Structure 1
Amino acid sequence: MKRLLAVTLGILTAIGGFVDIGDLVASSLVGARYGFALVWMLLLGLVGICVYAEMAGRVAAVSGRPTFDLVRERLGPRVGLANLTASLLVTLLTLAAELAGVALAVELVSAVPYLLWVPAAGLLVWLVIWRVRFETMERIFGLLGLVLIVFIVAVWRLSPDWGDVLHQVTAPKVPADEPVPTYLYYAIALFSSAMTPYEVFFFSSGGIEERWKATDLATVRINAFIGFPLGGLLALAIMSAAALVLNPAGVSVDHLSQVVLPTSVALGKFGLGLALLGVFAATFGAALETALSSGYTVAQYFGWTWGKSAAPRRAARFHVVVLVALLAGTALILTGLDPVKVTEYSLIFAAVALPLTYLPILVVANDREYMGERANGRLANVMGTVYLVIVLLAAVAALPLMFATKAGQ
């Protein structure tokens, strides 16, 4: 039972990373537009986040120090500040979209316009962060987000031709009527959604909140290699459901209501209700994750006391940053910006920031002064280096593709 509960940090992190509001819509949009032709990129990103999450968690467990603290010390304040600035801006954009996602889920149930729910969503997220213990929070929302398994059930009930599906996955082709740059734009967005910077910051900081030690490396790996793949499986199911229902019908996706439509087709109102509950839990969990990550990164860089495990008086500046981030995210969405577009842009900007996130983690994970005999082995270094090259290529291509395709239009 302890091992089962230990994996909930990875589940919460994975659901926040793979199945937030932007990824819900992006996965469905890609499935509806390209069928199964971009599954390979989702799987590529999944392996990458597992590799680096394990490194970040291992560094936190062995050193007992958070990521930004070590980055600032090892690489200097300028590199750390560049990392902080880039990741914080991306995280704030994502937080705004998550609050909108919570509100959109409630709108689909209540028929009350989502903008009226956004302030309530922000207040509720703050209350949970302020009052609920970290372990309780991660277990409730991590496990509740698993209701999204309804998408897996929906795919099974749709009874696809699995041979044809496997062929599309293993021999992907750009549709004849789709420009190659647009295909690559969405490929980078999917990859970035799997490796968004705040995931590793939240994962490693959460490990310190749970007081991981070098003896807890098995727990670190359970979280990294079970929790994250589970999030990837849910994202894959959402993409597959759209590919099976929306792609043949020629339906394009630009709203949350279209994301959950396949569950209604396959399972009726009961399936739709479960999908909406899962969407609410996933976006709310992601809002918690991004709000806390904002506080974690700033407090760790400046050396402040931080974390939910610290008394609010001792970690006052950390809580102020979290509150300011929530207010900023709420205000951004209340301007009327499309929350889906906000998140899609955040994914592209995240792609640009990926090297600043993962290079320092790879460097610190190899530093025997911090890690001793727990430093990276040959396999971890090979995988880490390969993915560092991939994120560099994604960073270079992201903005030109966004401008060339007019953000995937």
Structure 2
Amino acid sequence: MRSWFKNVGPGVLVSAAFIGPGTVTVCTLAGVNFGFALLWALLLSIIACLVLQEMAARLGIITQKGLSEVIREEIKIPLFRVAAIVLVFAAIVVGNAAYEAGNITGAVLGISAIAPKIVWETGIFSIDFWSFIISLIAFIILAIGNYKVLERVFIALVGIMSLSFIITAFLTKPDLLAMLKGLFIPSEGSAGILTVMALIGTTVVPYNLFLHSSIVSEKWKGPGFLKIARKELFWAISLGGIVSMAIVITAAASGVQNVSNAADFAAGLEPLFGEYATWFIAVGLFSAGITSSITAPLAAAYVVKGCLGWKKGLTSGKFKMVWSSVLILGMIFSSLGLKPVTIIQFAQVANGILLPVIAVFLFWVVNRTSLMGEHRNTKLQNALGIAIILITVFLGAKSILSVLGAL
């Protein structure tokens, strides 16, 4: 058991990163509105996530570099290199600063389901107490600058989050036959393709590719750790997928209606399953929010580090300045109730363009013998990679069109 825990870490961070408040909300709404019919989309997203994250992890272990650093070094044409760096910078750094407000707000929603709202009035401003506390917790954990501490915190939070949502799913006593049908028989039903894409998009996210390649290079040195990294990734992402499915199953089986977010759902469960069900959802939502509140700034800092060629990571003053800026912006937007709609829309468009671009670039570099040697992609990995790239291109196009349509 001690040996197993020693090799847990990067995959858990990735799993914690994609199960944020956005995932909880999307999965809740999918279950409330469409029952078990879209479980297959989550299964597809987990497979896609495993394929891309394995490539990112292999790249990080073999090259001992993060993905953004490889982008800077491997694109030889100056114009293309600058364009790639600017796109990555904009989508990940600016985008994560915008989404950080949602992460913190999600954790606040979890607390609000079981605790009173507290607001500090400071002259012309009002600051949400819980937003400040959550930001402070994230700040302290990141400021410690110790990777082992990060691992332990995330293992604990992911464990709490997983138990919360999985236990709640069991409480609802779902129809097993309907659940298995939704999991293995693709059906769009009345959901529309955008709902399917939203479920996939909450799991396959660009910044996780940058985060994963960077943190594995810090934890594992040399190709001898590839087997361990793959095993850890498989179990961590699979657990994340089970948690996402548990949220859909709970929402589908509960019969709760008129839900606009996960906090409404927590309140709706109380008459059916008692106060403890509300506590499980609230704790799960809080854990999801706080883990994403830590990983989003961390990923942004790793991207800047790679793009600008910085050598030091967690302990560097410049590195800390990046993640603290993202965290502070998120806290301000969350605590003051501001909605950075324009920035978030920009981030969605940029990420919609970035995901297939990064997937193609990742596919290219992990096939380069000069970079990966004998650890380049196999034929099976290439076949899976091509299929995933086609999905990401479709996902990116839909993401851009949906945002442009809302402008």
TM score, norm. by length of structure 1 = 0.87
Q: Aligned in 2, Cα 1:34/1:344: closer, same or farther, shift over 3 Å? A: farther
Structure 2 SS opposite 1:252: coil
* Equivalent residue for 1:151, pick from 165, 180, 203: 165
Of stretches 391-400 and 267-276 in structure 1, the one that deviates more from structure 2 is 267-276
Decide whether the 8 Å contact of 2:43 with 2:183 is kept in 1.
Answer: no
- Where does 1:211-226 land on structure 2 (aligned, <5 Å)? 211-226=220-235
Decide whether the 8 Å contact of 1:99 with 1:284 is kept in 2.
Answer: yes
Counterpart in 2 of 1:210? 219
Of stretches 143-152 and 380-389 in structure 1, the one that deviates more from structure 2 is 143-152
* Equivalent residue for 1:279, pick from 269, 280, 285: 285
**How far apart, CA to CA, are the structure 2 residues paired with 1:49 and 1:170?**
18
Deviation, 1:86, is 2.0
Of stretches 368-377 and 86-95 in structure 1, the one that deviates more from structure 2 is 86-95
After superposition, give the CA deviation of every residue in 1:65-105 in whole Å (9 maximum; x if it has no partner): 11111111112333233223223233222222111122222
Give the number of aligned pairs: 392
Counterpart in 2 of 1:160? 174
Q: Aligned in 2, Cα 1:264/1:202: closer, same or farther, shift over 3 Å? A: farther
Deviation, 1:133, is 1.9
Structure 2 SS opposite 1:207: helix
Counterpart in 2 of 1:362? 363
Counterpart in 1 of 2:97? 92
Q: What stretches of structure 2 of length at least 5 have no aligned partner? A: 76-80, 120-127
Deviation, 1:153, is 2.5
Code of the aligned partner of 1:124: I
After superposition, give the CA deviation of every residue in 1:171-223 in whole Å (9 maximum; x if it has no partner): 45455xx4xxx621121111111111111211121112324421111221022
Decide whether the 8 Å contact of 1:12 with 1:143 is kept in 2.
Answer: no
Counterpart in 2 of 1:28? 28
Counterpart check, 1:106 vs 2:111: yes
* Equivalent residue for 2:298, pick from 285, 292, 301: 292
**How far apart, CA to CA, are the structure 2 residues paired with 1:224 and 1:49?**
10
Deviation, 1:147, is 2.2
- Where does 1:155-304 land on structure 2 (aligned, <5 Å)? 155-175=169-189, 178=190, 183-246=192-255, 249=256, 251-261=257-267, 264=270, 268-304=274-310
Counterpart check, 1:125 vs 2:138: yes
Q: Aligned in 2, Cα 1:344/1:7: closer, same or farther, shift over 3 Å? A: farther
Decide whether the 8 Å contact of 1:80 with 1:301 is kept in 2.
Answer: yes
Deviation, 1:267, is 5.1
Q: Aligned in 2, Cα 1:72/1:304: closer, same or farther, shift over 3 Å? A: same
Q: Aligned in 2, Cα 1:402/1:84: closer, same or farther, shift over 3 Å? A: closer
Q: What stretches of structure 1 of length at least 5 have no aligned partner? A: none
Decide whether the 8 Å contact of 2:165 with 2:247 is kept in 1.
Answer: yes
TM score, norm. by length of structure 2 = 0.88
The sequence identity of aligned pairs, in percent, is: 22
Counterpart check, 1:142 vs 2:155: yes
**How far apart, CA to CA, are the structure 1 residues paired with 2:152 and 2:274?**
29
CA RMSD of aligned residues (A): 2.6
Counterpart in 1 of 2:38? 38
After superposition, give the CA deviation of every residue in 1:11-52 in whole Å (9 maximum; x if it has no partner): 2321221x2111111100111011122212211111111111
Moved >6 Å (runs of 4+): 339-345
